[in-house]
Amino acid sequence: LYATSARPMKSEHFEIQYDQLRGMIKLDQGDYLEARRYFHLNLDRLLLCLPENHHNIAVSHNSIACVYHNMGDYKTALSHYN
């Protein structure tokens, strides 16, 4: 019961996906601050329900790193790539 209760409900799952998609759209539009906000929101939600080594968390960190890379903050980008 405990293992299943930590999993997101269907509507929460869609919200998590939407955060990632919104971030990608904002990144493509060059709105890096909004993209970063959505990607961090996505990461925070994922960390609530998935183990830290889950591939979706890696994708989220990669997205955040892309934002920082595009902003020229290579040190912060590298920390998310690691």
Contacts by 10-19 with C-beta closer than 8 Å and gap 24+? 12/45, 12/49, 15/45, 16/42, 16/45, 16/46, 19/45
| Higher per-residue pLDDT: 76 or 3 | 76
**Model confidence over 44-76: pLDDT tens digits?**
999 998 998 999 999 999 999 999 999 999 999
pLDDT at residue 1 in the model = 38
The mean pLDDT value of the chain amounts to 87
d(CA 46, CA 53) in angstroms, rounded, equals: 11
SS (H, E, C) 33-80: HHHHHHHHHHHHHHHHHCCCCCHHHHHHHHHHHHHHHHHCCHHHHHHH
pLDDT for the residue numbered 82: 82
**What confidence tier does 2 reach under pLDDT thresholds 50, 70, 90?**
very low
pTM: 0.81
